[in-house]
Each structure stands twice: as C-alpha cells, then as structure tokens.
Amino acid sequence: MESNANAPADSLDGAEVTSTLAEAPIYHSDDPAYRVFVDTLSYLEPDEIALILEAYRFGEQAHQGQFRLSGEPYITHPLAVAGELSEWRMDAQAIIAALLHDVMEDTAVTKAEIAERFGKQVAELVDGLSKLEKIEFQSYQDAQAENFRKMLMAMARDLRIVLIKLADRLHNLQTMAAVRPDKRRRVAHETLEIYAPIATRLGLNNISRQLQDISFQHIYPMRFRVLTRAVQAVRGNRRELLLKILDGIRSTLHKANIEAGVFGREKSLYSIYHKMVDKHLSFSQVLDIYGFRILVKDIPTCYLTLGSLHSLYKPVPGKFKDYIAIPKGNGYQSLHTTLIGPYGTPVEIQIRTQGMHHVAEEGIASHWQYKDSEESGADLQLKTHKWLQSLIELQSATGDSSEFLEHVKVDLFPDEVYVFTPKGKILVLPRGATAIDFAYAVHTDIGHRCVAAHIDQELRPLSAELANGNQIEIITAPNANPSPNWLSYVKTSRARSKIRQFLKTMQQEGSSTLGENMLNQELQALGIVPSEIPATAWERVIHASGKKSRRDFFADIALGKSLAAVVAHRLAAHDEVSQTEAAAPEPLIIRGTEGVAIQLAACCYPIPGDPIIGFLRKGQGLRIHTHSCQVVRKSRRTEPQNWIHVAWEAEPDQLFDVCIRVTVKNVRGSLGRVAVAIAQAGVNIEQVHMNSGNPGLYTEMSFLVQVRERKHLATLMRALRRLPDIVRIVREQE
C-alpha cells in the first residue's frame, strides 16, 4: 500500500501501520468491538465515560487514514488496549491515555493539545508511552535501550504507564500475522527478555503467561504446534487419574469441614518448553506432575487445608514453601507443597485465599480490580514503589542507557532467595546473590566497606553465595574499598552499579593525580617549574588535546592515552614558559592505595622495600613491578619509553599481597601448624593452594598473604623456618 509523508514509522513494538492517500472512512462507532468496550465502562461515573468517548473520537480522527498491516483501521489497536485496561477496572485517565497512546508518536498531535483537552496527567502518561522516534541512534540496540530506560523512568513516576505498555505489547503480539517473520521473532525475543519478566516482577502472572506463550509461538512456530498437539493428547489420556486425585482432595476437605474451591492447574506451553530445555527433561517427565490450586476463605484455613492434604497423601520432604509468611518480591502469596499421589504420581498443590489469588493473577492491577485484595494490593504497591525508586537511583548512577538496561535485566529474573539481617529483617535477593549483594542491599556505605561476612555465625568470604534462610552479618573496615574483582560475582544491579560508580570515581581521581605527577616529572627533567607555567600555555595545550579540564587531561596521561614527555615538550615550546637548568627527575612516589590508576603486578607482587619500576600501558594506567621481575627483563629493552622511575612512600599505611611457597614434610596437621604460625606473626592469609609433589615425602603449599613491607615478610619467613615440619620456604616471583 502506498504511504504518505505523514505515515508512522515502522514501530519497534510490533504495531505496524500504513496510510493511504485517499480519504479513508472513519471506523464506525457502532462496531461490536466498540459497543463491548463501552459496556465495560459501567463501573465509572457518567462524566468520566463521556470524557473517554470524547478521547476515542479524538484518537479516531487523529489516526484517520492509517491502517495496520492486517488491513484494519489503526484505531482498533488503541481501542483493544483500552479495553484490556477497562477489564482491570482502571481509572478514566489511564483508559484515555491508552486510547491516545500512539497519537504523539504516529500523528501530528502534540503533548500540549492532549493536556489542553484531557488534562496534564493524561498528557504525561501518553508522553511516557511515546518512543524517541526523532532521535537518531547508532543501532537498534541503542534505541531499544533508550526507549526502555525512558519507559521505566516514566513508570517510576506513574505505575499506570507500565500497565498500558503491557496491554499494548500483548495486543501487538496477538495481531502480528501480517508482520514480517523476522520482525515477529525480534519483537517476541524482546518480549521474553524484557516485558514478560516485568509483568512477572509486578505480579501480573496472567498477562506474563500470555506474553510468553504468544512469543514462543512466534519464535518457534513448529515446536509450538507439536507441543500443542502433544499436550491435548496427554490431557485426554490422563483424565481418569486427574479426576481420582480431584475427588480425593475434595472428599478430604469436606470431611474436615473446609469450604474450598479446587481446580486443576494447567501448565502453559512456554513453561513446559522452558522446563524441558532448562532441566533437560523429556515431555513425559514434565507432564507427569499434576498441579492443583485450592482457594479458601482466610489464612488460618490455608494452614488447616495443608494439614488435611498431608494426611491424605505423603508430602515430599523439602518441597514445602510458605510464601504466605514470607511473600515473594512481587507480592505473590501461597502455600506450596508436593505430595505423592496415587500410583506414585507427584501432585503439586497451591493453597491461597481469594484475595491472594487475585494478586497472584493480576498483580499490581488487582489494586484497581478487586476490593477484597485491597490490603494485599497496598502491600504490593509499596514493594513495587521501592523497586521503581531503586530504578531511579540506578539510572542516576549509570547514566548510560545500555548499561542501565543490562543492570535492570538482572533484577527481572524471578528466582529469589530470602535471607535475614541480624535483627531478623527479611531481604529478597536474586538466586546466586553473594554477601556483597547483601551488603549493598542494606546500605551503600556497608557495601563499600565490607571485608567479610558471618553467614549463620560462620565466617565466610564476600564471594559466598547465599541460600534461603541464611542470616548474614557483614564485617566492615574503615579503610576498605570495592575491588574490580567483585564485578565478576555480584548478581544485583544495585551492587554492580554502585561498585562501577565507585571505581569510576576512584579511577578518575587516582588517574588525575598520577598523570599530574608523571607530567611534573618530565617537566622537571626539562628544567621547567610546573607552578610557573602561565595559564595561557595550559589552555593552548589542553584545547589542542580536545579535553575540557586539566583533570581530564592529566587522567589521559595516567592511562597512557597521552605521553607525559610529549606534553612536557609542547608546554616547553610556548614562549611564556621559562626554563632553568635541567635537574634529575624525582621518582613518582607510590603509596599502594591509589586504586585502579596504579596496580601492583600479580606476576611479582611488589611490596614496600622492593626496588620497583612502573610500566605505562595505554588505557590501563601504571602497573608496578619489581626490578627482578621477568616481565621487566623481557620488555624493558623493547618498550623503554613506557617504563617510569617510581619509588615507595617512606611509611605506607597499607597491607600488600605477596605469595610464598612452603615445602613441608607430609605429616598429619602440617597445614594447621603453618597457618597458626602465619597468624601468630600478625599476617592475614588470603588464599591457600596445596600441591602434592611426591606422596609420602613432602607437600608444597602456596600462600597468598598480606604484609606491610619486606621486614614484615622477613619476620614471617624466620618464624616459619623454626617449625620442625618446614623443609623449604621461598617467596614466589616470576
């Protein structure tokens, strides 16, 4: 179909539209879909309904002449989205925004026009839903990341935005038959990666299942058809056993005078497929588990029901979960138990109240939809608000949209662990979270200063993974700082962003100081006093480098992006700069606490007292080696311009890693005696590695320990040599 200049661009969320040059007829308001939509608005006040119908006419006129690729008038899409919101009994502003959610993006209507006719709040909702079509991005991934960031930030201001967006995405997926197959797969992948997890995170399990199943159908149409036929066949074959279990449950509850609704619980196609792939199970293994859901009147009855069912069938040990006492992060509450039913068949049971069921199916939308879930909905709103506030904090910490999207994806996985603070407060973290994630969840300063953790009263490293029920107490030290290595095992977006933010700040500050010292060293060699260089000379050199400030300029020198010697000669070339007699350059002073700008090489582990030299690698800062290091011997001749004269500070107040190799007699208890001797010498042990050389004769142990300087190391080695088990002890250096 031919399109005009005002035709909307190919949408990123699957809503394909075209326009015709000819005057197109307006979508008739007596259409059955329109009449059904109007009927669903009966819960609203008459003046609100009138405003909604006015918004429909406004949107219909704005989209006149625009068609979806299916051939339907484009207004059918916003009408369907608004209809979904009216089923959730959303307020009038949300429904109006749903009817107008594409007018700013696809037509000439402005935010000001919407605000004038329907109010400022409606205009803000529509703006939050509009994508950034007028901004050019380098790639689709950049555009996706920025649009997603904008949506989440708008969602943090008003939760109704995400409900409209999810309803929009669901209808787009349901009506993509005319869309190109490659685009269908792209939109479906994006849905599984972002939108379905958001729905799950907000407790919208019903819409999440629909998004997953339809996306699965678009990505793997053949697998979807095969699995659909297989599920239909199995349901017919196992009907007799299903009814037997159902009758047994109902009979048991009736004898216990428990009024309950008992329903068979069908697995969604995507959940079946995902479990087959993820757990390497066959189709029959996944479908051999029968699921039932039991709805009762109140919480005490939930626990009475649980006891009755455990008397009917034997429970499977370790398969009971109490999500009523400890709800999931998205507000989900139920009792879960697995029983051994007839013929050894596993039976999964969920027990919940009607209010819990509403929250479980509709999540945050249940706040508008059901009065009996008001208390649960308020609690869920509070949890959702905290999560959204954490997104705002995360956005301010990262700034970069792609990095922000990467962090948020981590938080969208549903697997969780529930752990306790020393005071008994429950924290919900993603599965695989470590003690560091816990520390940052408590407070940023605790995360920055943590050095170890007590997990269930046992001293554990910060990298230890947490399990359900752990009680964690974080040990901090005033001079401790985050390590770049932490990024390799933290799981939460909060911890990752805080660590990166700290390291960037440290790198900037440390690099700037280091770069200034390196430049001063070169200026001294040319007989130039840095403090006497006029501002005009600095301005010319910094301007020529393309940097905005001296701080950025010095950081480039520290990271090897600019050579200090070249910069020094450029400054010396200016007429205003006076030169004196050249002096022997002073070495750069190293404290060992500069952060990522200066790193101590792991090949030789230099410590104060060792003669040292620095190697400047472009983009990586200054790496300190000992003079005797093999790396220095190999590359000092080939890259002499990158080696810098450095020296230790007179009395550094810091501990330094060093590696020692101890050969001991292979007798019982030797490791313990060596470890005790190291501790008594006032030395921390970071790592231990055992290597049996000749069984029955000796054992080699490598210890990574922390010492203050060479004298401290010498004291330790003398103490170890006094042990009768020691055969040999050396400091390990390449």
Residue 730 pLDDT greater than 70, yes or no: yes
Q: Are 168 and 147 in contact (CB under 8 A)?
A: no
- Each residue's pLDDT tens digit, 218-231: 999 999 998 888 88
Domain assignment present for residue 10? The answer is no
What pLDDT is recorded for position 212?
92
Judge if 639 and 522 occupy the same domain.
yes
DSSP 261-330: EEEE-PPPHHHHHHHHHHHT--HHHHHTSEEEEEEESSHHHHHHHHHHHHHHSEEPTT--EETTTS--TT
Residue with tokens 């979960």: 321
- 656 forms beta bridges with 707
Domain assignment present for residue 404? The answer is no
Buried b (16+ CB within 10 A) or exposed e, 298-307: eeebbebbbe
Judge if 170 and 29 occupy the same domain.
yes
Judge if 364 and 238 occupy the same domain.
yes
What's the longest Cα–Cα distance across the chain?
104
- Each residue's pLDDT tens digit, 436-479: 999 998 988 999 888 888 888 888 888 888 887 788 999 888 87
Residue 215 pLDDT greater than 90, yes or no: yes
Domain assignment present for residue 516? The answer is yes
- Each residue's pLDDT tens digit, 472-528: 999 888 877 887 778 878 888 788 888 877 877 766 666 677 777 777 777 777 777
Q: What is the average per-residue pLDDT within 49-59?
A: 91
Q: Identify which has the larger pLDDT, 25 or 57.
A: 57
* CATH number of the domain encompassing residue 120: 1.10.3210.10
Domain assignment present for residue 203? The answer is no
Residue 628 has which token pair?
Answer: 């005797």
Q: CA–CA separation, 611 vs 145, rounded Å?
A: 49
Residue 3 pLDDT greater than 50, yes or no: no
* CATH number of the domain encompassing residue 473: 3.10.20.30
Domain assignment present for residue 557? The answer is yes
What pLDDT is recorded for position 11?
46
* CATH number of the domain encompassing residue 349: 3.30.460.10
- Each residue's pLDDT tens digit, 130-174: 764 444 444 556 666 666 666 666 666 777 888 898 899 999 998
Judge if 644 and 666 occupy the same domain.
no
- Each residue's pLDDT tens digit, 649-660: 777 667 888 899
What pLDDT is recorded for position 407?
56
Q: Are 492 and 441 in contact (CB under 8 A)?
A: yes
Q: Percentage of the chain with pLDDT > 70?
A: 76
Question: 10 falls in which pLDDT band (50, 70, 90)?
Answer: very low
Residue 256 carries which DSSP code? T
Domain assignment present for residue 577? The answer is yes
Judge if 326 and 237 occupy the same domain.
yes
Judge if 370 and 422 occupy the same domain.
no
What pLDDT is recorded for position 548?
73
What pLDDT is recorded for position 132?
43
Residue 19 pLDDT greater than 80, yes or no: no
Residue 18 pLDDT greater than 90, yes or no: no
Element (H, E) at 233: helix 221-237
Q: Which of 94-98, 508-512, 573-577, 727-731 has the lowest mean pLDDT?
A: 573-577
Q: What is the average per-residue pLDDT within 301-309?
A: 92
Which residues are known catalytic residues? 105-106
Judge if 167 and 90 occupy the same domain.
yes
Q: CA–CA separation, 37 vs 34, rounded Å?
A: 5
- Each residue's pLDDT tens digit, 95-143: 999 999 889 888 888 899 999 999 999 998 888 777 644 444 445 566 6
Judge if 620 and 515 occupy the same domain.
yes
Domain assignment present for residue 95? The answer is yes
Helices (H) and strands (E) in the chain, counts: 30, 22
Q: CA–CA separation, 581 vs 350, rounded Å?
A: 86
Q: Percentage of the chain with pLDDT > 90?
A: 15
Residue 94 pLDDT greater than 60, yes or no: yes
Structural domain of 468: 417-491
The pTM of the whole model exceeds 0.75: no
Q: Which of 345, 360, 376 is the last residue of a domain?
A: 376
Q: Which of 592, 618, 648 is the last residue of a domain?
A: 648
What pLDDT is recorded for position 458?
83
Residue type, 325: A
Question: 302 falls in which pLDDT band (50, 70, 90)?
Answer: very high
Residue 690 pLDDT greater than 80, yes or no: no
What pLDDT is recorded for position 2?
36
Q: What is the average per-residue pLDDT within 288-313?
A: 88
What pLDDT is recorded for position 530?
76
Judge if 632 and 691 occupy the same domain.
no
What pLDDT is recorded for position 666?
83
- Each residue's pLDDT tens digit, 357-393: 887 777 665 555 444 444 444 555 666 666 666 665 5
Residue 277 pLDDT greater than 80, yes or no: yes
Residue 7 pLDDT greater than 80, yes or no: no
Q: Which of 294-298, 328-332, 413-417 has the highest mean pLDDT?
A: 294-298
Domain assignment present for residue 4? The answer is no
- Each residue's pLDDT tens digit, 395-434: 555 555 555 565 565 555 546 777 888 887 878 788 788 9
What pLDDT is recorded for position 729?
92
Q: Which of 96-100, 250-254, 427-431, 639-643 has the lowest mean pLDDT?
A: 639-643
What pLDDT is recorded for position 222?
92
Q: What angle do CA 653, 654, 655 make, to 5 degrees?
A: 145
Question: 586 falls in which pLDDT band (50, 70, 90)?
Answer: low
Q: Are 102 and 78 in contact (CB under 8 A)?
A: yes
Residue 234 pLDDT greater than 80, yes or no: no
Residue type, 336: H
Q: Identify which has the larger pLDDT, 60 or 537.
A: 60
What pLDDT is recorded for position 385?
60
Question: 6 falls in which pLDDT band (50, 70, 90)?
Answer: very low
How many domains, in total, are found in the chain?
5
Judge if 464 and 518 occupy the same domain.
no
What pLDDT is recorded for position 55?
92
Q: Identify which has the larger pLDDT, 306 or 646.
A: 306
Provide the mean pLDDT of the chain.
78
Residue with tokens 């950025």: 552
